[in-house]
C-alpha cells in the first residue's frame, strides 16, 4: 500500500488527486493551513473511497512545522512514497506596492515549503529505491517573463521548476522521479461564471481545464509507466502560455 503526502490537499487540485489515490487504496496524508472544515470533509471522503486518511494542519513555509508534518505521516503510515506539492497561494499586487510580508507569503508556501518537505522525504525514498515527487508550477513559468502584477508568485513557481529538475538529477540513480505539472486556467469551482468566460477566451483550446485533467496528468507521472520520465514539466494549459 502506497502512501502519498499532499500539501494543499484539502481543496482544489490536491483534493482531487487525493480522492483519486484513495479510490485505488492509497494512504493519503493531506496537509492544510487554514481550511479546517474542507480538510475534514476531504479526509472523510478519502475513507469512504477505500483509502486511509490523515489530515495535518501545518504551514509548510515553516521548516519546523514541516518536520512535525512528516513525522506525523511516518507515525500513521510510515515514510511517504510520494510527495505532491500543491500548496500554492497567490495574490496580484503591483511589484512596487508589494510588501515584504506579501513577498514572503508567496515564496514561503510555494517554493520554500516544497524544499523543506522534499528534503525530509527524499532520504527514505532513496533507501527504498522508489519514490515520486510531483510539484505544481504554472504555465509559462519556464519562460522567465516579466510579471509586474504577479512577481513573487511567478518567481516562486519558476523556482519550483529548477528545484524539480535538480531533485530529478540527484535522485534518478535511486529510482526516484521528480516532475512538475504546470497548469494554465483550471475550473476548480471557485471562480464566478463571468470570470471563467473571460478566461476561456484567452485559451487556444477554447475551454478551461478541469480537475480531472489535473488528476489524469498526476496519475501518469506517479505511475510505473512514467518511471523513465524525470525532470519533466508537463504543460497543462490548452495551449495558453506558449
pLDDT at 190: 67
CB neighbourhood size of 48 (10 A): 12
> Whose CA is closest to 5, among 64, 77, 62, 59?
77
Q: pLDDT averaged over consecutive 10-residue blocks of the chain (242 residues)?
A: 96 96 97 94 96 97 98 98 93 93 96 98 98 97 93 97 98 98 87 78 92 98 98 96 88
How many domains is the chain partitioned into structurally? 1
The answer for residues whose C-beta is within 8 angstroms of residue 56's C-beta and 6 or more apart is 29, 30, 31, 32, 68, 69, 72, 73
For residue 241, being part of any structural domain is answered with: no
For residue 158, being part of any structural domain is answered with: yes
For residue 242, being part of any structural domain is answered with: no
> Whose CA is closest to 87, among 36, 137, 128, 18?
137
- Residue 240 is classified by DSSP as T
8 A C-beta contact, residue 51 and residue 28? yes
Crossing angle (nearest 10°) for helices 151-171 and 113-128: 10
pLDDT at 240: 92
Taking the whole predicted model, whether its pTM rises above 0.85 is answered as: yes
User: Residue 66 class from Cβ within 10 Å (0-12 exposed, 13-18 middle, 19+ buried)?
Assistant: buried
Tens of pLDDT, residue by residue over 143-186, are 999 999 999 999 999 999 999 999 999 999 999 999 999 999 99
pLDDT at 88: 84
Q: Which domain holds residue 149?
A: 3-236
For residue 155, being part of any structural domain is answered with: yes
CATH assignment of the domain containing 95: 3.40.50.720
The C-alpha atoms of residue 215 and residue 197 are separated, in whole angstroms, by 23
- Give the HSE-up count for residue 237: Cα atoms under 13 Å, Cβ half-sphere: 21
The C-alpha atoms of residue 170 and residue 173 are separated, in whole angstroms, by 7
Quick one: residue 4, left, alpha or beta (phi over 0 = left, psi -120 to 50 = alpha)?
beta
For residue 20, being part of any structural domain is answered with: yes
Amino acid at each position: 500500500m502506497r502512501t502519498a503526502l499532499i500539501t494543499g490537499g484539502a481543496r482544489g487540485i490536491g483534493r482531487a488527486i487525493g480522492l483519486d489515490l484513495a479510490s485505488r487504496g492509497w494512504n493519503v496524508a493531506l496537509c492544510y493551513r487554514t481550511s479546517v472544515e474542507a480538510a475534514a470533509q476531504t479526509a472523510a471522503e478519502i475513507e469512504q473511497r477505500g483509502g486511509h486518511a490523515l489530515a495535518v494542519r501545518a504551514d509548510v513555509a515553516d521548516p519546523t512545522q514541516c518536520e512535525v508534518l512528516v513525522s506525523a505521516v511516518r507515525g500513521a503510515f510510515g515514510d511517504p512514497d510520494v510527495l505532491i506539492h500543491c500548496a500554492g497561494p497567490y495574490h496580484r499586487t503591483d511589484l512596487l506596492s508589494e510588501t515584504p510580508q506579501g513577498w514572503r507569503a508567496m515564496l514561503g508556501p510555494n517554493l520554500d515549503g516544497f524544499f523543506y518537505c522534499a528534503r525530509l522525504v527524499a532520504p527514505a525514498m532513496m533507501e527504498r529505491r522508489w519514490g515520486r515527487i510531483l510539484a505544481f508550477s504554472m504555465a509559462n513559468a519556464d519562460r522567465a517573463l516579466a510579471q509586474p502584477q504577479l512577481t513573487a508568485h511567478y518567481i516562486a513557481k519558476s523556482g519550483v521548476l529548477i528545484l524539480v529538475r535538480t531533485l530529478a538529477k540527484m535522485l534518478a540513480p535511486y529510482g526516484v522521479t521528480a516532475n512538475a505539472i504546470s497548469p494554465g486556467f483550471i475550473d476548480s469551482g471557485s471562480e464566478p461564471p463571468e470570470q471563467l468566460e473571460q478566461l476561456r477566451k484567452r485559451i487556444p483550446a477554447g475551454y478551461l481545464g478541469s480537475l480531472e485533467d489535473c488528476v489524469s496528468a498526476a496519475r501518469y507521472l506517479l505511475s510505473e509507466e512514467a518511471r523513465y520520465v524525470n525532470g519533466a514539466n508537463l504543460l497543462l494549459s490548452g495551449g495558453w502560455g506558449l
